[in-house]
Each structure stands twice: as structure tokens, then as C-alpha cells.
Amino acid sequence: MARGPSLDTFISAADRALRSLFAPPTAARPLPAPAPTAVREAQKAGDAALTPDEKRESAALMRVNHAGEVAAQALYHAQAMFARNGEVREFMLQAARDETDHLAWCETRLTELGSRPSVLNPLWYAGSFGIGALAALLGDRASLGFVAETERQVEGHLKSHLDRLPDADLRSRAIVEAMRHDEIGHGQHAQSAGGAHLPGPARELMRQTARVMTHTAYRI
């Protein structure tokens, strides 16, 4: 019979939660930069090419993305905590490390735009941790299937942001494109590792839950 998480596991989970919410995230990979080099050099001076309205729109969208990365951290931390297979646990932790890069990139970009993360990030983390724990407790195949569906929806969400970000905001667009590439990879890995196909009502509930978070984080 599978053993439940140990006290050390709970302490580690609490530590990861506090770091995700209150410690400045540190990326293992450099901030994605726009290309070509000539364009990248032109952007070093800042965001002078953006109008005030464009900067506000970019900041709101990047705040939504930052909140999404906080939620992703919580989902992966919870799923790793309750995973039954060691390989599944390691996949979840590696995915969380990738999301830490995303978190740091979004936070850097928000600072550049003169904005801030969502004040409701602790709520997003707590709610997402509970959802991730529930998915993991249903078994590793269900948990992997949840990742695959989550990343499929996130990929679509990021694609919509690429459509909405100002054309001149090359820095935000480069970050979102790099995040989108990672999310596609996570979803494909989870699917190929045996993720179960989620029923329609579960997928719709996930969409509606994400919609509440994105609409709220856009403003708060």
C-alpha cells in the first residue's frame, strides 16, 4: 500500500509555497529577448515605443500571466507531493522549476512596465494547490491527464495574449512565446507518459475556473 506524504514532505511543500509567494523568483534561464539583434538593441532603451494605453494593456496581460504561473507552481507542487510514482513526481518538480523561470520573467517584465503582480496571488496559490492535490489523489494517470489538459488550455490562453499584446511590445511578446513553447512541451510529456483523457465536464470546469482567475488578475 502506498504511504502518504511524510512530515518532511509537508515542510518542503510549505517552504516551496512561501518561496513562490514571497521570495523574489530566480530564473535559471535568461530572460527571453526579441529578435533580430537590431530590434533587441533598439529595445534596450526601454518602452518608449509604447503609448500609455499600450503599457497598461501589456502590464495587465503580464499580471494575468504572472498569476497563472503562481497557480502553476501550486498545481505542480501539490501533484508532486501526492504522486505515487517517483518518475511522475520528478516530472512535476521539473515542470515547477520551468514555471519558476516563467514567474521570474513575468515579474521582471511587470517591473519594467511600472506595474505589480496580482494582490490575490496567495488565493490563487491556495486554490490551485487544492485542485492539484485532488488531481493527484485520483492517481498518477489522472494527474498526468490533468497536466496535459491544463497545458493545452494554457497554450491557447498564451496564444490569445500574443494576439492582444501591442505589436511594439517585443519584450513581452518574446517572454510569452517562450512560455508557450515550454507549456506545449509539458503537455506533450504528460500525455506521452500515460495521462488519462479527462471527461468534458472536468475540462469545462477547468476553463471556467481559469476564466475567473484571469478576469480578476487582469484588474487586481
Rg (CA), the chain: 17
Q: Please give the residue range of the domain that contains residue 185.
A: 51-219
DSSP state of 24: P
Closest CA to 105 of 72, 75, 74, 76: 72
**In the structure grid, which three cell numbers stand for residue 23, read together?**
521570495
Those residues whose C-beta lies under 8 Å from the C-beta of residue 206, and which sit 6 or more positions away, are 149, 150, 153, 198
The structure's pTM equals 0.84
- Domain membership of residue 57 (yes or no) is yes
- Domain membership of residue 14 (yes or no) is no
pLDDT tens for the chain, 220 residues: list them: 445 565 555 566 555 665 656 567 788 899 998 866 545 555 554 566 899 999 999 999 999 999 999 999 899 999 999 999 999 999 999 998 888 999 999 999 999 999 999 999 999 999 999 999 999 999 999 999 999 999 999 999 999 999 999 999 999 999 999 999 999 999 999 999 999 998 888 889 888 988 999 999 998 8
- Residues 56, 52, 22, 26, CA torsion sign: positive
Look at the chain and report how many structural domains it folds into.
1
Domain CATH code at residue 132? 1.20.1260.10
